[in-house]
A and B are shown apart, each in its own frame.
Chain A
Amino acid sequence: MPSLKDLKNRITSVKSTQKITAAMKMVAASKLRRAQDQAEAGRPYAERMARMLSSLAANVQAGGEGPRLMAGTGKDEVHLLVVMTADRGLCGAFNSSIVREARRQIALLQGQGKTVKIMTVGRKGRDNLRRTHAGLIGQTFEEVGRRRLSFADADQIAARVLEMFEAGEFDVCSVVYNRFKSAMTQIVTVQQVVPFAVPESTEAAPATDEARALYEYEPDEEQILAELLPRNLSIQVYRALLENAASEQGARMTAMDNATRNAGDMINRLTLTYNRTRQAYITKELIEIISGAEAL
């Protein structure tokens, strides 16, 4: 049976742990709000970019095959996986679920006889994948958007991807990240970014078809598209990073909430044991005194 002092020490230690997890939860909550606001602010650009792209693509596809970023290299041999994780842990299953999905993809692609290359964003992904797939990891990015995620961060990653694509180092590129659904749920998503599949516009098709035909292009479609597609790649990376940042904070918030609650339960249990032990000790002393008095 533990002594009263031991119990007291344990209670104090669990209490300070609880304070830390509660603080982390609050920090994550405020960071989550910021990340959500940022994702919200980035939406107008992405929407308009998508609208331009779909109208351009419709025009170009009708004529020729379009730039390589959209049409692909015509091969499907080398795959580049950009695995986005966090730099820090203590956020539940956030990192491990991304890594698990990445491993699954690697196994799947290798099973089909493809070559796989990996680019990691975030320290946790790099550390985890290095144990099993060290040979595949090319470039790693760390501390991306530590203070505040900016478009320049995404641009840097996209520039590297483009460089590799120009050099013919891969045919297909996908990003693996966590899509933010709510603070409780994040969905691991594998999204192909090169060659880029232009989303079909969901609006009423006939109306947009008419609008498409009416656009004038300066310079011509192909040239605009050739400039727009690299931008679009940066945007896709940026969006993935934003979603990931929001997911990370959401996952951390939930994990820390659980930890705080768990610590509370633990404190209750320990306090109960402590009080029982103390009571038993007092009773024992009383009995000793009383029997001593009776013996006289």
Chain B
Amino acid sequence: MEQKGRPGPRVGPGLRAEGQDMADKVEFELVSPERLIASRAVDMVVVPGGEGNFGVLAGHAPMITTVRPGVIDMYDGDQVVDRIFVAGGFAEVTETRCTVLAEQAVAVAQIDRAAAEQEVRDLGEDVEDAKSEAERTTLEHRLAIAQAKLAAVEAGTAAAH
């Protein structure tokens, strides 16, 4: 499920205005129901939105969107400084802030690849064995999250090599 960022002023560090200073950072916050997971000022953050990935720079038009399972990339300059996997949620963007509400979040570096593979296999089998339609739907939902998690690790390790 590869979705590219949309065109327009909201995408890409290359489109940043010249001569920006610290005030042009975005306050990024990642919160789960149990705690505040991350809160930092970044140059750009790329969020896997429900309708495609989108990058947020300072001065982004205010919006509210759903988030699908995937990886949030935080940029400082042109460097990715942090990658966090989220299992879906919501995002609220204002000119100076980007808040992501996620139920489950884990740093990509901390995902255990073997465990993720195992989870995908197990859930795949469970989906096959699902007895009712409702059960199948919830399992498929969980499988999609597990697959996205695995894809996140694979992309992460590929980049490292």
User: Considering the complex, which residues of chain A in the window 25-66 have a beta carbon less than 8 Å from any beta carbon of chain B?
Assistant: 38, 41-42, 44-46, 48-49, 51-52, 55-56
Report B-chain residues with C-beta under 8 Å of the C-beta of A51: 92
Say whether B34 contacts A227, CB under 8 Å. no
Within 8 A of A (CB), among B29-54: 29, 31-36, 49-51
The yes or no answer to A216 lying at the interface (CB within 8 A) is yes
- Expressed in whole angstroms, the Cα–Cα distance for A130 and B70 within the complex equals 46
- Interface size on B, as a range, is 20 to 34
Q: How many residues on A have C-beta within 8 angstroms of the other chain's C-beta atoms?
A: 30
Contact B65 A151 (CB under 8 A): no
Q: Which of A48, A150, A211, A217 sits near B101, CB closer than 8 Å?
A: A48
User: Which residue of chain B lies nearest to A213 when distances are taken between CB atoms in the complex?
Assistant: B62
Main secondary structure of the interface of A (DSSP, over half): helix
Q: Are A224 and B90 in contact (CB under 8 A)?
A: yes
Most buried by B among A218, A223, A231: A218
Chain A: CB-nearest residue to B102: A45
Contact between B33 and A234, CB atoms less than 8 A apart: yes
Contact A151 B103 (CB under 8 A): yes
Rounded to whole angstroms, the CA-CA distance of A270 and B35 in the bound complex is 51
Shortest Cβ gap from A135 to chain B (Å): 27
Asked whether any CB of chain A lies closer than 8 Å to the CB of B63, the reply is yes
- Report whether A41 and B35 are in contact in the complex, using a CB–CB cutoff of 8 Å: yes
| Cα(A132)–Cα(B65), bound, Å | 47
Give B138's nearest chain A residue, CB to CB. Answer: A159
Contact indicator A45/B32 (Cβ below 8 Å)? yes
Given contacts A45-B101, A48-B101, A49-B101, contact A217 B34 (CB under 8 A): no
Contacting residues, chain A, for B103 (C-beta < 8 A)? 151, 231
A224 pairs with B36, CB closer than 8 A: no
Instruction: Say which residue of A44, A46, A150, A219 sits within 8 Å of B50 (CB atoms).
Output: A219
- Known pairs A56-B64, A151-B103; A218 contacts B33 (CB<8 A): no
Chain A residue nearest to B99 in the complex (CB):
A48
Question: Do the beta carbons of B34 and A216 come within 8 Å of each other?
Answer: no
Q: What is the bound-complex CA distance between A219 and B91, given in angstroms?
A: 12
Give the residue name and chain of the B residue nearest to A214 (CB): B62
Query: With A49-B101, A52-B90, A224-B90 in contact, do A235 and B64 touch (Cβ < 8 Å)?
Result: no
Query: A183-238: which residues lie under 8 A (CB-CB) from chain B?
Result: 211, 214-219, 223-224, 227-228, 231, 234-235, 238
- In the complex, the answer to whether B32 meets A215 with C-beta atoms within 8 Å is no
A residues near B35, Cβ cutoff 8 Å: 41-42
List of B residues within 8 angstroms of A44 by Cβ: 29, 31, 36
A216 adjacent to B63 (CB under 8 Å): yes
Q: A48-B101, A219-B51, A228-B90 are in contact. Are A55 and B64 (CB under 8 A)?
A: yes
The answer to whether A224 touches B66 (Cβ under 8 A) is: yes
User: Contacts of B51 on A, CB cut-off 8 Å?
Assistant: 218-219
B residues in contact with A42, CB < 8 Å: 33-35
Minimum Cβ distance to chain B for residue A117 (Å) = 21
Tell me the bound Cα distance from A33 to B33 in angstroms.
Answer: 19
B106 at interface (Cβ–Cβ under 8 A)? no
B34 nearest CB neighbor, chain A only: A151
Are B36's CB and A41's CB within 8 A? yes
Given contacts A38-B34, A48-B31, contact A218 B49 (CB under 8 A): yes
Q: Are A217 and B99 in contact (CB under 8 A)?
A: no
7 A–B contacts from the bound complex (CB under 8 Å): A41-B36, A45-B33, A211-B94, A216-B61, A216-B64, A224-B64, A235-B33
Known: A42-B33, A151-B34. 8 other contacts (CB 8 A): A44-B31, A48-B101, A211-B62, A216-B62, A218-B63, A218-B65, A224-B65, A224-B66
- List residues of chain B with CB under 8 Å of any chain A CB: 29, 31-36, 49-51, 61-66, 90, 92, 94, 99, 101, 103
Q: B-contacting residues of A (Cβ < 8 Å)?
A: 38, 41-42, 44-46, 48-49, 51-52, 55-56, 150-151, 154, 211, 214-219, 223-224, 227-228, 231, 234-235, 238
Top 9 closest A-B pairs, CB basis? A216-B63, A218-B65, A41-B35, A151-B33, A45-B31, A44-B31, A45-B33, A214-B62, A215-B62
